[in-house]
Chain A
Amino acid sequence: MLRTTTIGITFIFLVIVWGCRDVYVSPYKSPPTGYLVVEGYISGNSVTQFTLTRTVPLPGDPTIPTVDGATVQVEGSDNSIYPLTDLGGGIYSSIDTLNLNPQLRYRLRIQTTNDQYLSDLVPYKSTPPIDSINWVQDGTRQVRIYANTHNPADTTGYYRWDFTQIYEHDAGEDGVFYYDKDTVPKMVLARSPSMLTYRCWTTSSSTSIIIANTTKLSSDVIYEQPVKTIPPDDIQLSVLYTILVRQYAITADAYAFLNLMQQNTESLGSIFDAQPSQITGNIHSLTNAGEKIIGYVSAGTVQQQRIWIQRYQVLDAYSDPCPIKDTIIGNDSASLWNAFGQGPFSPLVQGPSCGNCWLSNYKDCQDCREQGGVTQKPIIWPN
């Protein structure tokens, strides 16, 4: 893996130098699949949650169908049963933290309308705490966020991380006016607090598989495991950024499953990469032997840690691409309609010097939602 990465990257160099990459649209028609996909974690120190979805053909509508109305339960090797609640949208969750016994093994049972599925029993793996989440800005101004951990007992070996990040991003201009074209007379009005679109927050989760192992090291130490890289001059670091990193101890088999999934779906596509191959998890159909099910059930504890990064902490932080406010719009109804009602502009400041004309700017520059995100401030946000 390490080998193929190196050669793969090198190979990609050559492609960058002479080659090119075009979008590929497969001329082949995919067969219908609809395999069950199971994702989640049996947690002993937080809510246990599983998501059931199905595979869809490629290409086509990428809307992933969810599996609703199933009965999902966690079972212990002592025959204990912990039913999960159907929250809709394919999500099945425990109400509270499950009271699990670290000495036992656990599995997942799923009953859909027609089929029953059961995972292998998996050991309960206690995850060592995260020592630190740190970040550096390297010579190319990329911000690299790392996780550090260790297990003095040397019993973990295989690790997985995922994260949830939130960042605030503000509009270029703090627009307090808006042009109301829906009421008569059409006119420029001041925004109410709920209509302000200056501050936004975007929340997202990790989209790649982050795994590492320490089996080749003399002690169970993870040092500076890359978790997330933010490119230079990126809007994520324009105001305030936070990342909550979760860490899971997993088994060798779970690691192998994720590793293969990573190779299959995240590799660079050079001929020096391992070829894609079929992936099988630890969930089996009880009603239809040989049915393909994608997913790997693991059990244990979750450790997490949050860090914050302020704009002033990074060099060459995000620069606002909005042009300076220089568009002048007359205060007559025709001009207002042309610029604000039909045009791309939004009023900013009324200047008495030009006969109550409006200094204006593009709407995008006054509406942070244009960059994605919502204006609802997250609960954890400091101010």
Chain B
Amino acid sequence: MTASPVNPIRKYTRTFILCVSLLSAWWPGSRCLAQGAQGREKVTLDLHKATMDTVLLLVEQQTGYRFFYDTADLDTNRIDITVNQEPYTKVLANIFSGTDLSYSIDKYGHVFVVKGEAIATDLPPAFFDKTTAAQKADVAANDTVRDYLEEAGKKVPATIENKLFVIGDKTPGPPPRGIANLVGYARDAKTGEPVVGASIWIDNPRIGTYSDRYGYYSLSLPKGRHSLNIQSIGMRDTRRLIFVYGDGKLNIDLVTQVMTLKKVIVSAEKVSNVKRTEMGVQKLDIKTIKQVPVVFGEADVMRVVMTLPGVKTVGESSTGLNVRGGSADQNLVLFNDATIYNTAHFFGMFSVFNPEVVKDVELYKSSIPARFGGRLSSVLDISSREGNKKAITGSAGLGLLTSRLNIEGPLIKDKTSFIIGGRTTYANWLLQDLPAQYKNSRASFYDVNLNISHEINKKNNLYLTGYLSEDHFNLNNDTTYAYGNKNLSLKWKHIFNNRFYNTVATGYDRYQYSIGSQENPVNAYKLGFDINQLYLRTYFNYLLNSSHTLEFGFSTLRYKLHPGYYVPVGGKSLVVPDTLQTEQAEESALYLSDKYTITGDLSLEAGVRYSVFNYLGPSAVNDYAPGYPESVGTQTGVTNYSAGKIIKTYGGPEYRISARYVLTTDLSIKAGYNTQRQYIHMLSNTTAEAPTDIWKLSDPNIRPQSGGQYSLGAYKDFKHNTIETSLEVYYKNIDDYLDYRSGAQLIMNHHIETDVLETKGKAYGAELLIKKLTGKLNGWFSYTWSRTLLRQNNPNEGELINGGNWYPADYDKPNDVTMVGNYRINHRFSVSLNATYSTGRPITLPIGVYAYAGSLRALYSDRNAYRIPDYFRTDLSMNIEGNHKVHQRTHNSWTIGVYNLTGRHNPYSVYYVSENGAVNGYKLSIFGSAIPFVNFNIRFE
């Protein structure tokens, strides 16, 4: 809500303005300029570069007139004015001349200042008579038609719904025919940030589109007069009257929706699953994410993604996602354009994404657009916010374990903005509870985000993203342990013309970890790993005509991995420095896809991505006897390759096809098929993704993973599209997925290929999602039934697992039910509840006991033949906002809640251990009781 009085005493003004605006919308044709009924007062002013606010305040003090206006309309205007005892009306005319502002004065001395048309202060004479159709037509005909020429440099943001915008060069004569193209940006009127996913459409014929991640939209529509409707979640619905003569631009400023309790937004065209061609795509904005209670109360992007259907995780404190039966390394996690290799802080208790900086999260688990590649299962695309382009603002949060601070604002007003956010922890107090021998342990983490967006001109934009995260853990002062991400990316967006734009992104990503121990001076060591990548990605979007939109581009990625080094620390250490040879490779891809609207009901999106992977020298590659399992015994020699030499090339096409057929306006069906290739593998034989897992490139001895997925879905909206439902089924196969021999040595292994097995996987399932994101009660319910099975039945690979039969993967949890709910009791108070149930994950349980080395020991047999007990958890949180006065300097809110409300001991792992000679079985729960939390957040400007 941006309408505001000149001074805060007049609290009633806001409502008043609303009423008047409404009136003006009802009666757009009438003009009512200053009549000067009370304009006899004299005014004296001498101001230079004064804001409109100041000028109007002074006029008000001298005359007793009262001004009403929307601050957003005035804030760009600066005025030089010198008048001495001039009549009031003359002064006002002077003030508003050369602006696009109009004013009108009613009989009570209220002055209404608006952009564009002046407000009618009286009802038209025939208002209370039934308005006839003829009159309506008359009104429409009297609309002021103005040229809207952006090129003229006159900044005219479209904020008035009843103004007619002329698109293209106005031609005299009969109405134009043919198709024209309209583009522009949807922005937040207050902050200047792009509005993503706004639905923009005309009713007749029904043509629509959505704004992209930059707020950019492009629409092909018949020439002529239209009403352009714009809707976006969290924004006030609006429309623009346009008269299209040819291609043109129209930027749309949207006003934040102040949620009113009585108002339920019923809309026909929200970004709806029914209408999208893609399937298996889920999008969450940060507002939704922040409502979901999580342990320690800090909004956690990854945790909320885990509540979506088809997304599983092996355990409570694991951030590794298993999407539709894929392993944790088969997800491409992008933060803006940067690849984040480790998404967890503090062993998985927190995700590395600062909720104050994140704008939204999009998960692609089925139709992965052709522009993405390199991972088999999913793409998690996390976008950060752009900074406020109008004013410096900020926010801060205080929790039991972490604190965060975020500042944003313009560097050049309306052109360049920045946002910088940081988080840190003070978890050391937790470690006080540890047993005496670990008392000296220390844990800490931090992360820093910096985003700068710059508008070079109307056609060129630059985006800079910097990201840094670090974790440190010091075990009892002698084992130190650190890991972190570093990312830097620069993106340039260029608009060639209305139908054609592109982005070019380049950047550097790094993930590294190290462990060092000096506990024993002779064995003191430091062990480390890092992965580095440099990339260049181009993306072109070409609107061929109203039924074809082409996307194409090229990307290349240069990997450089240091798979491990192990070096001595201190003078007494006898550790021999050992370094695994550096790995390098180039992964490139060309892609093309077409969004083809065959009829209004049937549309198809088909793409192909051709990826090529070159494993590059210098390298010494181990050779093995063909036809035998790769083992130390079958190694025949080593081949040396020089720097830059292409040692091995893998590649092939990947297909991305999805189709949608709309049966009725609120029911559609979709089908999809897509294939993927993955050239980098995470090596981990632990159940959960650990920060110290290392990555391995495909090489002559380790083939890339590949996979395909067939999916089918039905989508239906209920209750005027406020309830969205979907049912999707899928079948997926995975080839050359890496598994491990028993007792595999994964770190500092010079012949890792002898310890891995290339296995096959298959996954299938059904996912039901019911989602309601508007209204007092909102949230979603998801149910997933799925299986994920693996098999290693090739004796040439070596060891057969479970006799070569299919066995369940660690994250195979057939039944999974999640409910996320939020109930808004009033503006300042809402309650969130989530509940989740899932089948226990498979585990390898002992089948017997034997005696060895002085103790009874557990005997293990088939892998993953049993399951841990089922999982159930409920969390509750209350979000309490401070008062909602718009123009106070700070806004604060509290989040109070309880994680694991029922205090259930959810087994996280079940294990048997030999202790003092006996075998004991234990269930381990990470959160063995209800965990209360509190978080304080403050926003300031």
Contact = CB atoms under 8 A, between A and B. Distances in A.
A219 interface: yes
Nearest to B920: A23
Nearest to B476: A9
A379 interface: no
Contacts of A7: 347, 481, 690-692
Contacts of B433: 16-17
A276 B844 contact: yes
Interface residues of B, number: 88
A350 to B, nearest CB: 41
A14 B922 contact: no
Contact of B576 (A35, A217, A295): A217
Nearest to A61: B849
Given A216-B566, A223-B523, A62 B849 contact: yes
A365 B15 CA distance: 87
Interface in B810-847: 810, 844-847
B742 interface: yes
Contacts of B748: 216
Contacts of A35: 848, 850, 859
10 contacts: A10-B475, A25-B921, A53-B851, A57-B848, A62-B856, A208-B855, A223-B522, A260-B743, A277-B742, A279-B742
Nearest to B433: A17
Interface string B758-798: 00000000000000000000000000000000000000000
Nearest to A66: B851
Interface in B232-286: none
Contacts of A295: 852
A275 B744 CA distance: 11
B686 A272 contact: yes
A276 to B, nearest CB: 4
Contact of B522 (A64, A224, A270): A224
B611 interface: no
Interface in A16-63: 16-26, 28, 30-31, 33, 35, 37, 39, 51, 53-58, 62
Interface string B907-926: 11111111011111111111
Interface stretch (B154-162, B314-322, B370-378): B314-322
Interface of B: 314-315, 317-318, 347, 349, 430-431, 433-438, 441, 473, 475, 479, 481, 515, 517, 520-523, 525, 527, 566, 574-576, 578, 685-688, 690-692, 742-743, 747-748, 810, 844-861, 863, 866, 905, 907-914, 916-929, 931
A308 interface: no
Interface residues of A, number: 79
Contact of A271 (B747, B908, B925): B908
B845 A26 contact: yes
B848 A33 contact: yes
The 5 closest A-B pairs by CB, nearest first: A20-B928, A269-B911, A223-B522, A277-B742, A271-B688
A53 B855 CA distance: 13
* Residue among B522, B578, B919, B920 with max Cβ neighbours from chain A (10 Å): B522
Contact of A140 (B437, B685, B861, B919): B437
B686 A56 contact: no
A2 B528 CA distance: 13
A132 interface: no
Given A274-B686, A277-B863, A216 B575 contact: yes
Interface in A119-148: 140, 142
Nearest to B851: A64
A3 B574 contact: no
A37 B850 contact: yes
A56 B574 CA distance: 44
Given A7-B692, A15-B924, A224-B522, A275 B685 contact: yes
B523 A217 contact: yes
B845 A10 contact: no
A37 B430 CA distance: 45
Contacts of B747: 2-3
A6 interface: yes
A271 B689 CA distance: 9
Interface in A236-261: 256, 258-261
* Residue among B481, B691, B859 with max Cβ neighbours from chain A (10 Å): B859
Contacts of B318: 271
Contact of A19 (B525, B919, B925): B925
Nearest to A54: B850
A265 B914 contact: yes
Contacts of A207: 853-855, 914, 916-917
A286 interface: no
Given A35-B848, A219-B574, A278-B742, 5 more contacts: A19-B927, A20-B924, A21-B922, A24-B923, A261-B852
Contacts of A142: 437
A356 interface: no
B749 to A, nearest CB: 12
B847 A58 contact: yes
Contacts of B919: 58, 62, 265
A22 B922 CA distance: 6
A6 B515 contact: yes
A113 B441 CA distance: 57
A11 interface: yes
A279 to B, nearest CB: 7
Contacts of A13: 431, 434, 438, 441
A266 to B, nearest CB: 6
Contact of B743 (A9, A263, A272): A263
